[in-house]
Chains A and B, each alone.
Chain A
Amino acid sequence: KPLQHDKNAAFAPDEALTPYQDVSDYCNFYELGTGKGDPAKHAHWLRSDPWSVTIEGEVAKPGTLSLEALLKPHPLEERIYRLRCVEAWSMVVPWLGFPLADLLKRFEPTSRAKYVAFETLYDPTTLKGQKHDIIHWPYAEGLRMDEAMNPLSLMAVGLYGHALPNQNGAPLRLVVPWKYGFKSIKSIVTIRLTEEQPPTAWNRHAPQEYGFYANVNPDVDHPRWSQAKERRIGEFFKRKTLPFNGYGDYVAGLYQGMDLSVHF
């Protein structure tokens, strides 16, 4: 269903967009199956309407809202971001959404709020992938507060001018383009402000392979493959991977003085 939006010129790079067909057919969404094509095939497993989101933890005004109530005060904008998967492929996607910072401010994080944790829907009867203990369920991710408040961090509700397809994380997902794709959690039902760094799905599964920060970094290899290059979907030759996926100007400052080979 088409969504009313305007375009954010700041995020409209002159890079070729990845065709909608590939964006919606080539996904990692283990709740809907672990093959790249499974999420599209099993998209009907996910009932994204009705949907509600619970905001809890270190906030002055916690609550559970319907999706509509959550979205109402936020005008939507289109942002064309690069998305770089930890598996060394990448896409360019025109997302529709609004700044995560605006959403968080509404619920007034307390002074103790140091991290934002997200959780995906947990419903193994319908999301059959959750019947297999492949990674920890429900899928969880998290951001440090300053990362969450960064203008790049996006709450996405659509792509290519329409509501998110189920396989891409309907109806609400996170998009943090300077981090590996697994940080951009799909189908969010819980947003929790915490004092401690929250556990995250892939880091729990293989701590020496997937970090909490997971910033795109060509200089720090994954133990099993290099991260120096990526295959942009649709291209034959590989491209050099850019630090922070090319968003260093916006986010490099967040990591001043941090050794990113340790905090990978």
Chain B
Amino acid sequence: MSWKRARLLLMALSLVPLLWYGQQLLDNRLGANPIEAVIRASGRWSLYLLLATLAVTPLLRLFHLKPLGSFRRPLGVACFGYGLLHLLLYVGVDQFFDGAAIWKDILKRPFITMGVATLLLMLPLALTSNNAMVRQLGGRRWKRLHRLIYLIAPMALLHLYWLTKADYRFAYQMTVLVALLLGYRVLHLARGHFVGNQGGKSVT
């Protein structure tokens, strides 16, 4: 299979959770509180795709698969897509577009403030995830903008921690994965400086 086709397959695969949950919803097989189920699922998948996006660089370096880099964009956009769906479900079928209630939540509920902030931070990345924008911004500035993902990941974890009521195991697991993925960058950067000429090579 060519890398181009693999990338198309990846895009298709990233729609599978959406289709699966849509199907389950129509079959009323999401349990007693389907709205809660789809809000949680969309949030979870946005987080999984965030991890997958961060996993591209370490994998392409580990296995010397430079073409893997082309997976970053579809994964990142899908991550934003599920995040946006997550927000829209909250706004639409949890708060029924009740602006006052939503605004009150954003102000008073830390985990919702953090969730909205996280998605807002993803917006510029999603909007610049096309070749035209890469050219317009220029490689260096584009890369610097997309390093926002290193802030987005911890913010997403805070959103998760602050909405958890008592069982933090899932939050712990996600924190370990984010720590590994971000730790890889720190390690790589540090090694870069000490090993001489590679120092300062941009890391994404």
User: Is the pairing of A and B real?
Assistant: yes
A220 to B119 Cα, complex, angstroms: 29
B3 CB contacts on chain A under 8 angstroms = none
Contact with A along B137-176 (1 / 0, CB 8 A): 0000000000000000000000000110111010000000
Interface of A is mostly: loop
Tell me how far the C-beta of B166 lies from the nearest C-beta in chain A, rounded to whole angstroms. 5
Segment at the A interface, from B19-27, B62-70, B101-109, B189-197: B101-109
Question: When the two chains form their complex, are residues A132 and B169 in contact, meaning their CB atoms are under 8 A apart?
Answer: yes
What is the bound-complex CA distance between A233 and B108, given in angstroms? Answer: 26
A128 CB to closest chain B CB (Å) equals 13
* Interface pair A205/B104, CB less than 8 Å apart: no
- Known contacts A30-B166, A224-B162, A224-B163; decide if A22 and B105 are in contact (CB<8 Å): no
B162's closest neighbor in chain A, by CB?
Answer: A224
Interface status of B31 (Cβ within 8 A of chain A): yes
Within 8 A of B (CB), among A17-45: 18, 21-22, 25-26, 30, 34, 36-37
Contacts A132-B169, A224-B162 given; does A36 touch B32 at CB 8 Å: yes
The answer, yes or no, to whether A247 is at the interface (CB within 8 Å) is: no
Smallest beta-carbon distance B119→chain A, Å: 18
* Residue B11 lies at the interface, judged by CB distance under 8 Å to chain A: no
| Number of A-B residue pairs with CB-CB distance less than 8 Å in the complex they form | 50
User: B21-54: which residues lie under 8 A (CB-CB) from chain A?
Assistant: 31-33, 35-36
Which of B32, B109, B166 touches A224 (beta carbons < 8 Å)? B109
Question: In the complex, what distance in Å separates the CA atom of A140 from the CA atom of B65?
Answer: 56
Residue of A nearest to B163 (CB): A224
Whether A226 sits at the interface, judged by CB under 8 Å, is: yes
Q: Is the CB of A26 within 8 A of B32?
A: yes
Interface of B is mostly: helix
* A226 with B96: CB separation less than 8 A: no
On chain A, the number of residues with a Cβ less than 8 Å from chain B's Cβ atoms is 27
- Give A125 Cβ to nearest chain B Cβ, in Å: 20
Contact flag A221-B33 (CB < 8 Å), given A134-B166, A134-B167, A205-B166: no
Q: Check if B167 sits within 8 Å of A221, measured CB to CB.
A: no
- In the bound assembly, the distance between CA atoms of A205 and B167 in angstroms comes to 11
Determine if A89 is an interface residue (Cβ-Cβ < 8 Å): yes
Whether A225 touches B32, Cβ cut-off 8 Å, given contacts A34-B167, A132-B169, A205-B166, is no
B80 CB–A CB distance under 8 Å = no
CA distance A225 to B109 in the complex (A): 7
Residue contact A226 to B104, C-beta cutoff 8 Å: yes
A135, CB-defined interface residue at 8 Å: yes
The residues of B with any CB-CB pair to A shorter than 8 Å are: 31-33, 35-36, 93, 96, 101, 104-105, 108-111, 162-163, 165-167, 169
The 3 closest A-B pairs by CB, nearest first: A26-B32, A22-B32, A34-B167
A→B interface (CB under 8 Å): 18, 21-22, 25-26, 30, 34, 36-37, 87, 89, 132, 134-135, 205-206, 221, 223-226, 231, 233-234, 236-238
